[in-house]
Structure 1
Amino acid sequence: MTSAPIAAVTGAEGFIGSHLTEALVAAGHRVRAMVQYNSFSSYGWLETLPADVLDHVEVVLGDVRDNGSVRSLVADAETVYHLAALIAIPYSYQAPHSYVDTNVTGTLNVLEAVRHLEVPRLVHTSTSETYGTAQTVPITEDHPINTQSPYAASKAGGDRLADSYHASFGTPVVTLRPFNTFGPRQSMRAVIPTVIGQVAAGYHTITLGDLRPTRDFTFVKDTAQAFLAVGTAPAATVEGRTFNAGTGGEISVGDLVRLIGKVMDTDLDVTEDEQRVRPAASEVMRLVADASRLRAATGWAPAHDLEQGLAHTVEFFRDPANLARYKTGVYNI
């Protein structure tokens, strides 16, 4: 009997990474999950997964900024899913060097390890923020790259490295570019958990930044399936290519707040907090995906609409044990 294939995941302790780990196990993989080293030996959200899932997960402490950590992680893996990144846009204004170290140099380390250890498939994670404010809609993968924050620039740098390694060395890399993923376990740095968390904590006046930008929100379980789709598709259909993952729908932050109020059966007032507003030239005003390339290559399509995903997210945050993990009364950057 052959053993299950090994899927290595960087950033496995995080929001999307933990959901991807669950999805990989459900699909029959063993998962080698890299968690950023910390002196608390915390495994992040992986600690909340059911025991029958964790039976198929090997957790390793490491850091994508360290070559040795990465090489140990990817050895003997059939597929590497590279999700580890610094992600908060406001913090990238304060600590841009950290974003380059993790999102650019860390990606370089993953590419080098995959190349030299001859791993059959690498799925590299991009972000819709690399497009900047939409110049044409919906946004296809051919849309110009316009990085309006240090975070976006660092992610675009990793994307360009991934492209160059495929062109230069034939590295079997595919890039997935998720639009705004949301759902259970997301941090309070994002708008949906910020609103739901404040309401669940008893606030009726919600503190936010700019209400005008529009986003294409994708439920996290659908994003996890998009990763699986590109990680398991035939090489000829995906390698060396970039794929958007989004719903094709958009909603403004203001309308989103009203929809969350409806789902939570609560009337909400909103006040603007100046510290939550991005610099004017850095704010991305409109993002909406064209995911037809991904659909054509793999058959992927989202299984949840926005209201369904919000209902699942509300259920998560209304659990007192989950809500207790968050600081709802402060601005989380």
Structure 2
Amino acid sequence: MKTILITGGAGFIGSNFAHYIYEKYPDYRILVLDALTYAGSVENLPVDICKEFDNGRFQFWNGNVLNAELVGTLVAESDYIVHFAAESHVTRSIYDNKLFFETDVLGTQAIANAVCKYQDKVERFIHISTSEVYGTAESGAMDEEHPLNPMSPYAAAKAGADRLVYSYWSTYNIPAVIIRPFNNYGARQHLEKVIPRFVTSVILDEKLRVHGDGQSSRDFIHTDDTCRAIDMALHAPQDKVVGEVFNVGSGQHRSILSIAQDITSIMCTDKQCWVHVGNRPGQVMRHTCDYGKIKDVLGWEPCVDWDEGLKRVIRWYSENEEWWRKMLWMRGIPIITAEGKKELH
């Protein structure tokens, strides 16, 4: 029986991956470590931990990746580590940046140190980075050689963690792989993120808040596709992936305004349901993924097309109002815009 440690496994992408592994690999033992900050919940886990802390296959540990002793104990038991744990919201990082550097950089250092200590046991360490490390696209599509130009405290913290993991591979030869997902969407995503915020705004008969003119664009990838990519990197031959960086995205960018239009065309076709607010400080104008490397090396390609994925998300939030109602107060974050105006973003 292989043991896999998933840090941040009660958050959005981490919990989707925990569900994926739990369902696909019935012979795997799963350890989830999560601090249960505002963005994580035990409701997201694949088992009810109120009924069973340890069912032989699944254990949940409520703890922080900064706790090196706990991290070391869990890593010592693990064959695979997938490290999602991070503060992950651009807007929130603008007014609370210290927490981002503590969790994202120092937390990653704690994990990497433990992997280094127990690398005779650890077969693969997957670090989940982000496309935000690139900043605004300097080319039509961004491959892994695109310069790192982080434009927000969140992006800078993730860039630091990304390069820290690379340095540990280079220095200590740990079995590390870096995944840079582009913007993910899917079930169980916090309402601070744009797609669930838009969807729930329509459900609540509110106007959708679109930053600036809405022309900033992102590459959106469904979490199902991201989980498949991580799985493939986790189980690929070592000589194909260790020490490598892989982008994971759809290869298509969509403006925030077009996303608002797509959602409202499905949910409230009789009216314009959005309003424009000031642009977010540190705004990235465009991300478009070049996923050619992971396609060539592992044969991965996205399978969930945008229309189908968006309908799935709308259906999930429409059917799970009890899950998201409790976080309504966290959908909007007050910030000072580039123009000096205080706005709710």
- What TM-score, normalized to structure 2? 0.88
Q: Equivalent residue of 2:9, what SS?
A: coil
Q: Equivalent residue of 2:144, what SS?
A: coil
Q: Alignment identity in percent?
A: 30
Q: Equivalent residue of 2:328, what SS?
A: coil
User: Retained in 2: the 8 A contact 1:15–1:186?
Assistant: yes
User: Retained in 2: the 8 A contact 1:7–1:77?
Assistant: yes
**Structure 2 unaligned runs (5+)?**
334-344
Residue of structure 2 in register with 1:297 after alignment? 297
Q: Equivalent residue of 2:224, what SS?
A: helix
Aligned residues: 322
- 1:97: how far off? 1.6
The correspondence for 2:181, drawn from 145, 165, 178, is: 178
Residue of structure 1 in register with 2:280 after alignment? 278
1:314 aligns with 2:277: no
User: Retained in 2: the 8 A contact 1:197–1:328?
Assistant: no
Render the CA deviation track for 1:193-223: whole Å, top value 9, x for unaligned: 11101112233x2223231111110011111
Q: Identify the range of structure 1 (319-328 vs 14-23) with the bigger mean alpha-carbon deviation.
A: 319-328
Residue of structure 1 in register with 2:239 after alignment? 236
User: Retained in 1: the 8 A contact 2:191–2:331?
Assistant: no
Supply the distance in 2 between the matched residues of 1:27 and 1:329 (Cα, whole angstroms): 33
Q: Equivalent residue of 1:318, what SS?
A: helix
Render the CA deviation track for 1:214-237: whole Å, top value 9, x for unaligned: 111001111111111111111111
User: Retained in 2: the 8 A contact 1:201–1:328?
Assistant: no
Shift of the 239–49 alpha-carbon distance from structure 1 to 2, 3 Å rule, reads farther
Shift of the 15–303 alpha-carbon distance from structure 1 to 2, 3 Å rule, reads same
Q: Identify the range of structure 1 (23-32 vs 108-117) with the bigger mean alpha-carbon deviation.
A: 23-32
Residue of structure 2 in register with 1:208 after alignment? 210
The correspondence for 1:221, drawn from 224, 242, 266, is: 224
Supply the distance in 2 between the matched residues of 1:245 and 1:42 (Cα, whole angstroms): 25
- 1:154: how far off? 0.6
Give, as a single letter, the amino acid of the residue that structure 2 aligns with 1:6. T
Render the CA deviation track for 1:171-211: whole Å, top value 9, x for unaligned: 100000000000111112211111101112233x2223231
Supply the distance in 1 between the matched residues of 2:300 and 2:260 (Cα, whole angstroms): 28
Residue of structure 1 in register with 2:149 after alignment? 146
- 1:49: how far off? 6.9
Shift of the 330–219 alpha-carbon distance from structure 1 to 2, 3 Å rule, reads closer
User: Retained in 2: the 8 A contact 1:198–1:328?
Assistant: no
Shift of the 192–328 alpha-carbon distance from structure 1 to 2, 3 Å rule, reads farther
Q: Equivalent residue of 2:221, what SS?
A: strand
User: Retained in 2: the 8 A contact 1:194–1:328?
Assistant: no
Residue of structure 1 in register with 2:337 after alignment? none
Residue of structure 2 in register with 1:91 after alignment? 92
Q: Equivalent residue of 2:45, what SS?
A: helix
- What TM-score, normalized to structure 1? 0.91
- 1:37: how far off? 5.8
Supply the distance in 1 between the matched residues of 2:297 and 2:209 (Cα, whole angstroms): 41
Residue of structure 1 in register with 2:336 after alignment? none
1:33 aligns with 2:32: yes
Residue of structure 2 in register with 1:268 after alignment? 272
Supply the distance in 2 between the matched residues of 1:67 and 1:328 (Cα, whole angstroms): 33
Supply the distance in 2 between the matched residues of 1:16 and 1:69 (Cα, whole angstroms): 22
Give, as a single letter, the amino acid of the residue that structure 2 aligns with 1:71. G
User: Retained in 2: the 8 A contact 1:138–1:288?
Assistant: yes
Shift of the 62–328 alpha-carbon distance from structure 1 to 2, 3 Å rule, reads closer
The RMSD of aligned alpha carbons is 2.2
Render the CA deviation track for 1:120-165: whole Å, top value 9, x for unaligned: 1100011111000000121000000001111111101011111111
